[in-house]
Amino acid sequence: MQIRTFSYPEDLPAVLQLWSKAGPGVHLGPSDEPFELQKKLRRDPDLFLVAEENGDLVGAVMGGFDGRRAIVYHLAVEPGHRRKGLGSQLMAEMEVRLKTKGCLKMYLLVTKDNPEALQFYEGLGWEVMDMHMMGKELP
């Protein structure tokens, strides 16, 4: 198993396929279009990670850091590779890379229809925060 930085455009089809079949926790939207992902890659390309096994992409996670806080997006692992520590390895590598940048706190979102993800992240030391998440789409 190898964890490495995402390579655009080579990894894009496999990552989009992985995310599209990841289950209830990954919701693809306009910000996951190729042009939008390119914008993200210009900001912090080292925070988009993939996992490969025998040349096949089997996991991915994307992070962002604004200089103060980090957020993690779209952690996904192929169903046949789950519960083997791959998601934990991807998150550990993300944490190492964020610590190197000086990050002190990370956030992530878990949808209410994904209790398995809650258990997974709690097992990694994450805590549920009592707050309201708000959003606004910009035209």
Q: What tens digit of pLDDT does each residue of 67-89 get? A: 999 999 999 999 999 999 999 99
Q: What tens digit of pLDDT does each residue of 106-124 get? A: 999 999 889 999 999 999 9
Structure tokens at 96: 């190492």
**79 secondary structure, DSSP code:** G
Q: What tens digit of pLDDT does each residue of 26-38 get? A: 999 999 999 999 9
**Could you tell me the residue ranges of all domains in the chain?**
2-123
Residue range 2-123 forms a domain whose CATH class is: alpha beta
CB burial readout 65-89, b (16+ within 10 A) else e: beeeebebbbbbbbeebbeeebbeb
